[in-house]
Amino acid sequence: MSNIAQIKRFLIDEFLPDITPDQLADDHDLLSDGVIDSLGVLKLIAWVEDHFTLPVDDTDLDPNNFRSVAAIDAFITERRTTAATAAGVTVGG
């Protein structure tokens, strides 16, 4: 399952139980539309850390990293690439 699909599944299960993954656009602004509030962002961050085994540092707590499915996916991809580079591993696209 792709990152996008996993992110959508989490968001729908936790915050949008009445829609399907196809109805959630990758660029839908989850914060401005009130889908996720500040507590929801904390829940999302905890899920990202646990599900993708990625630490989310204080410097990562920019709302733009968690504003949409696409932004969350980009954040996860960037963090994986950064972690792999630091470990000397090449990450393919």
| 17-48 burial code (b ≥16 CB/10 A, e <16) | eeeeeeebeeebebbeeebbeeebbeebbebb
How do residues 58-73 score in pLDDT, each as one tens digit? Answer: 999 999 999 999 999 9
Question: What is the set of domains in the chain, with CATH numbers?
Answer: 3-87 (1.10.1200.10)
pLDDT of 23 strictly over 70 = yes
> Could you give the CA distance from residue 72 to residue 51 in angstroms, rounded to a whole number?
13
Both tokens of residue 82?
A: 């950064």
Helix ranges (H only) for the chain are: 3-14, 38-51, 69-87
pLDDT recorded at residue 90: 63
Instruction: Name the pLDDT band for 91 (thresholds 50, 70, 90).
Output: low
pLDDT of 93 strictly over 60 = no
pLDDT of 84 strictly over 80 = no
